[in-house]
Amino acid sequence: MNKTDNPIIKMLLWRVRKLKTEEVVQVLSIIASLQDRVFTLTDIVDELPKEISQNRQKRRCVGTLLKNLSEIGYLSKPSERKWVKNASSLSHFLNQFILELSSLEKTFYARPQQEKKKVLGVLEKIDKTSR
């Protein structure tokens, strides 16, 4: 799979239109490389290439990306300008939610199949009695 095909990266790109796929991947890798410590937007931007750090719109998009990551729970904001990771990487953070989603999907689809079997059983009984 190519990084442009990754559905999680595509979803993150929805709200940060000025950033390219590679730039979002760079931001995520910088965040993942930070040790467990408090960081600021400036810390992230300083690590990015000059074409991002010198472009005001892209810097603002990086801030929006951080905000989006905090909305899903990967980052927390202990103060107005500071961020903290809640997991070592985004993939580790999402892993638990993917497993939870899988179990939700299994329980949701299990019920309608059982109900269909019951309805078919009732219809078969009605058909046998009508003969």
Tens of pLDDT, residues 67-76: 999 999 999 9
Name the pLDDT band for 105 (thresholds 50, 70, 90): confident
| In the chain, where the domains are located | 7-86, 96-131
pLDDT at res. 4: 64
pLDDT at res. 112: 59
Q: Are 51 and 57 in contact (CB under 8 A)?
A: no
Long-range contacts of 86-95 (CB under 8 A, 24+ apart): 88/32, 89/28, 89/32, 90/8, 90/28, 90/31, 90/32, 94/8
7-86 in CATH: which number?
1.10.10.10
Tens of pLDDT, residues 9-30: 999 999 998 999 999 999 999 9
